[in-house]
Amino acid sequence: MKVLITRKLPRVAIDLLLKNNIAVQVHDSDEPIKFRELVRYGKDADGILSLLTDRIDEKIINRLEKCKVIANYAVGYNNINTKAAKAKNIIVTNTPDILTDATADLTLALLLSVCRRVIESEMFTRSNKFTGWQPELFLGIELKGKTLGVVGAGRIGRAVAKRAAAFGMNIIYFNKSKKTEFELELNAQKVSLTKLIKKSDFVSLHLPLNSETQNLINSEKLELLKPNAVIINTARGEIIDENYLIAMLKKKRIFGAGFDVYQNEPKVNKQLLKLNNVVLLPHIGSATFEARSAMAELAAKNIINVLKGLPPITPVEL
Ligand code: DGY
């Protein structure tokens, strides 16, 4: 049996597959695998360990001759055409849970960086502009007492809310279903998306990208943000109307925004690079040693299970 791993990733995945007598073909590069290579090496592979940067569309799936499982090295799987996979009886898996804390930590890091202008201040100091303490140097916003609107109360959204509550924030959330335990634990209140955007000082996005959430935070919704609002996106860029948000940031219509993901990733809109009320990260939500290695292990285990005829550990709903 053979598995294609589409990029260099923590060694644990390869070791586990080899230990289970599964041959491994690694696209050993820091660049995404090209369509041609994906088809060439994926064609006769029994499984594929893919990344969120690999577009596994219908065209590719239809060319896979033996594939039984596509294990995505991410919790999000919007890069895979799951309908086409289902039609070919290919199981798709993801890596939930193990990156929740890493992503929630990074969300708070972004929120604090925007509110306390950490990056701007750091650049100021680094460029030798600090000439002494000043009463109004880089004034920012305190977190305590503010309202955080969590859009999507899944694992990551709830972990973010927990951290926010420890900072003294009030929590409101938008979610399809009511999360009673979460409400009781953090005194969180479920509201409509419109109400959440109107009432929140900070809005943080934690939804998967799909046809329902694409452009969910559109221009009308963005217009409802409070004048001093901060918006943080560690989910997927396509959930927000990025151009409209940039126009608002340019006009200083809101206080700021933190981005870990972008609409045309990996391209970052050039206008964003000129703004100092934003913090821009290169999609590193899950980038901790702990999370990335656990993700590699889980992806490999999912493949091993399927190829042994056992149920996958974390299948996605197809
Ligand atoms: C995911 O797993 O979907 C994240 O975006 C990766 O950091």
Tens-digit pLDDT profile for residues 61-78: 999 999 999 999 999 999
Would you say residue 315 lies in a domain?
Answer: no
Judge if 173 and 87 occupy the same domain.
Answer: no
Judge if 62 and 154 occupy the same domain.
Answer: no
- pLDDT, residue 15, reads 97
Would you say residue 52 lies in a domain?
Answer: yes
- pLDDT, residue 22, reads 98
Judge if 228 and 272 occupy the same domain.
Answer: yes
CA dihedral 230, 236, 239, 242 (to 10 degrees): 60
- pLDDT, residue 44, reads 96
**Cis amide linkage into residue 266, ω under 30° from 0:** yes
Judge if 183 and 248 occupy the same domain.
Answer: yes
Q: How far apart are the CA of 133 and the centre of ligand 1, in A?
A: 40
Q: What residues of the chain score a pLDDT lower than 70?
A: none
Query: In the annotation, is 206 catalytic?
Result: no
Q: How far apart are the CA of 101 and the centre of ligand 1, in A?
A: 12
CA dihedral 13, 18, 23, 28 (to 10 degrees): 40
Domain residues for the domain of 178 are: 100-280
Domain count for the chain, please give it.
Answer: 2
Q: Do 240 and 207 meet the contact criterion of CB atoms below 8 Å apart?
A: no
Judge if 225 and 253 occupy the same domain.
Answer: yes
The span from the CA of 246 to the CA of 244, in Å, is 5
The CATH number of residue 245's host domain is 3.40.50.720
- pLDDT, residue 212, reads 96
Name all residues whose Cβ lies below 6 A of ligand 1: 52, 74-76, 99, 283, 285-286
Q: Whose CA is nearest to atom 3 of ligand 1?
A: 76
Would you say residue 302 lies in a domain?
Answer: yes
Judge if 43 and 136 occupy the same domain.
Answer: no
Judge if 236 and 302 occupy the same domain.
Answer: no
Would you say residue 313 lies in a domain?
Answer: no
Q: How far apart are the CA of 214 and the centre of ligand 1, in A?
A: 16
Judge if 130 and 165 occupy the same domain.
Answer: yes
Number of H helices, E strands in the chain: 13, 12
Judge if 296 and 263 occupy the same domain.
Answer: no
Judge if 122 and 247 occupy the same domain.
Answer: yes
Judge if 132 and 266 occupy the same domain.
Answer: yes
Judge if 88 and 236 occupy the same domain.
Answer: no
